[in-house]
Amino acid sequence: MPEAQARAIVRDVRKRFDPLGVRTRTVADEERGLTRAIDRLTDFLSIVGLIALLLGGVGVASGVSAFVTRKIDTVAVLRCLGATSRQVLAIYVTQAAAMGLVGAAFGALLGVGLQLALPHAVGEFLPVDVQVTLAPAAITTGLAVGVWVALVFALRPLLALRRVSPLQAIRRDVDPGALRRRGIDWPRRLVELGIVASVVALTVTRTGRVREGVWLSVGIGGALVVLWLSAFATTWAARRLLRAGWPYVVRQGIANLYRPGNQTRAVTLALGFGAFLVSTVFLVQTNLLRQFSGAGFTSRANVILFDIQEDQIASVTERVRANGELLQATPIVTMRIAEINGRPVASLVGDTTRRQGMWALRREYRSTYRDTLTSTERLAGGRWSTAPTRDERGATVYGVSLDRNLANDLRVKLGDRITWDVQGVKVPTRVNSLREIDWERFELNFFALFPTAAIDRAPKQFAVLARVPDPTRVARLQRDVVTAHPNVSSVDLSLVQATIGRIIDRVSMAVRFLALFSLASGLPVLFSAVAATRRDRLREAVLLKTLGATRRQILRILLSEYGVLGALGAAAGMVLAFGGAWGLVHFVFEGRFQPDWLAAAGIAALMMAITVTIGLLTARDGYRETPMASLRES
């Protein structure tokens, strides 16, 4: 049937059946459902791209900040030769734009190369032949975005060069605050406003939705504010908690956090923001992979048998164990709702104020009984209890656990009474708990769950989940069961499970690759942030050596300082990452966030170790060279 005709039929049917809660689905609806995981991967790709851009921007800002510090003498000489502040700014802005263009061009070439190579790498996975064609519009957009990000993030530190005066050529040593701003710098404020607008535009463009883009931008801004407050709190605490009884190298390293001209705020912002973005990607990746691995046909069961009668279950389970592993043998009892809080269902159905949830009142339920919860269920309210109670007339009332969404449709809450019609027998129950069920998992899940004693004597049938290792045994099991019990139906899911498993493996590989890519993007940010203070560390090392400090002492001082900075940035980034990852998983990917504390702690420790290593590497000249050589270099 053509899709347009199917849609017309569905529209007509929905007008009559939607008020009754009857749902209709077409093949096109099923296709859209199957693409939900791909849509999530697309969203993840967009977020990784956005994070890569932000990391690049932070790296550019940190690198240009270090570049500006090194160019103070050069700018002062140019001013002495008659160059105006505008001319100096134009020179270095042109350099930044040129470097941004070169970097963007290299990135575009790398992207084109990956695009051409990717179909060959995953060709056997794709069900169709892919013809790769270049998209000039996409390449041009990438170049423009790369140049713009490099320019807008570089412009803020470059604006400080306007304040370098000609006298700075001879006053550098006595005026270390040449770049320090005094009063309100309106051009700087306009550039900062442009950065904010650029981030909002990038997030809206990458997400494709204005609301989500704005909220992501607000989250990014909030993370920067928290990091700034963390840096301020660190300098405040370092100044007040430092004790004279501590070892000299520790005191000197901690003092560097609040001394004049310290880089605590700049380094903490860059390191913490980098750690925040990288950790967020990893936590989102972990939750996405958990959704993939826990969805659909990734269950251990590959054979399902159903319509098994009570007198057949022992024979069926015996045959299952002879060929494989019995995973579940679940009783199923059919029933309907008779009353809710004393009101018959007929009265509730006739209530014109209840337009939603009619399906829940009219349907026949296939429920089960057991005394424990399974891995696909978790309590969302109340408490799980199997002990019966007595009502005011002395009748036994069992507790029942409902799916949370079903309870909303039935308009019942914890403590409400539901009387069930179990094949002619009325069974009164009280809603003791609500469950959140992962319906995407290939398990036997039920809207209503009873304790064993409530309905174990009711007529029932069984469904069995089994794990059979090879196709030969699957065929033998199906043959034996059908021969002995022709009414029992079975479904072999092995081929479907294997196909979807291969798809999930490839998707997981792609997600992991993108997460590693984000980590690699964060490394230049760390290098730039730490290298920005190289000149100050070199001068400090020269002074300490002149005063008699040994190389080991200088190394320990740097280790103390960078250890604190690395721990602060990594810890703040990790804490922020949990909030960011929760927001993305909950609102963007519409899933349930499960924190991976071990992975987050590992990333934080790795970021801290990288920070200390980079700090020691960038300052190695300061503790390797002699004081005279260092003085000449400085």
Q: Are residues 166 and 62 in the same domain?
A: yes
Q: Are residues 596 and 451 in the same domain?
A: no
Q: Are residues 24 and 140 in the same domain?
A: no
> Coil, strand, or helix at residue 614?
helix
| pLDDT, tens digit, 9 for 90 and up, residues 474-500 | 999 999 999 999 999 998 888 777 776
Name the average pLDDT for the chain.
Answer: 79
| pLDDT, tens digit, 9 for 90 and up, residues 377-410 | 889 999 888 888 887 777 789 999 999 999 998 9
Q: For residue 329, what pLDDT is reported?
A: 93
Return the closest-CA partner of residue 131 out of 120, 140, 142.
120
Q: Are residues 188 and 312 in the same domain?
A: no
Q: Are residues 116 and 228 in the same domain?
A: yes
Q: Are residues 313 and 286 in the same domain?
A: no
In the chain, helix, strand, coil percent, each to 5? 65, 15, 25
Q: For residue 485, what pLDDT is reported?
A: 94
Residues 571-576 have a mean pLDDT of 88
Q: Which amino acid is at 475?
A: A
Residues 6 or more apart whose Cβ sits within 8 Å of residue 539: 634
Q: Are residues 312 and 170 in the same domain?
A: no
Model-level pTM greater than 0.75? no
Q: Rounded distance, CA 303 to CA 442, Å? A: 11
Q: Rounded distance, CA 78 to CA 87, Å? A: 10
Domain count, the chain: 3
Q: Which of 426, 458, 492 is the last residue of a domain?
A: 492
pLDDT tier for residue 20 given thresholds of 50, 70 and 90: low
Q: Are residues 291 and 323 in the same domain?
A: no
Q: Rounded distance, CA 634 to CA 303, Å? A: 74
Q: Beta-strand (E) ranges in 94-145?
A: none
Q: Are residues 201 and 247 in the same domain?
A: yes
Residue 424 CA from chain centroid, whole number: 50
DSSP 8-state symbol, 324:
S
Helix (H) or strand (E) holding 207: helix 186-207
Q: For residue 510, what pLDDT is reported?
A: 67
Q: Which of 492, 520, 537 is the last residue of a domain?
A: 492
Q: For residue 174, what pLDDT is reported?
A: 43
Q: Rounded distance, CA 408 to CA 221, Å? A: 37
Q: Which ranges of 242-353 does DSSP label H, i.e. alpha helix?
A: 248-255, 264-294, 313-323, 345-349
Helix (H) or strand (E) holding 257: none
Q: Rounded distance, CA 280 to CA 578, Å? A: 7
Q: Are residues 282 and 339 in the same domain?
A: no
Indicate the range of 95-99, 157-161, 199-203, 262-266 predicted with least confidence.
262-266
| pLDDT, tens digit, 9 for 90 and up, residues 509-552 | 766 676 676 667 667 766 766 666 666 666 777 777 777 878 78
pLDDT tier for residue 201 given thresholds of 50, 70 and 90: confident
Residues 359-365 have a mean pLDDT of 88
Q: Which domain holds residue 200?
A: 35-296+500-633
Q: Are residues 508 and 443 in the same domain?
A: no
Tokens of 545: 């050596």
Contact 117, 123 (CB under 8 A): no
Q: Which of 460, 492, 524 is the last residue of a domain?
A: 492
What's the first-to-final CA gap in the chain, in angstroms?
A: 80
Over 60: is that where the pLDDT of 1 sits?
no
Q: Are residues 193 and 337 in the same domain?
A: no
Q: Please indicate whether residue 440 or residue 242 has the higher confidence score (pLDDT).
A: 242
Over 70: is that where the pLDDT of 282 sits?
yes
Q: For residue 316, what pLDDT is reported?
A: 95
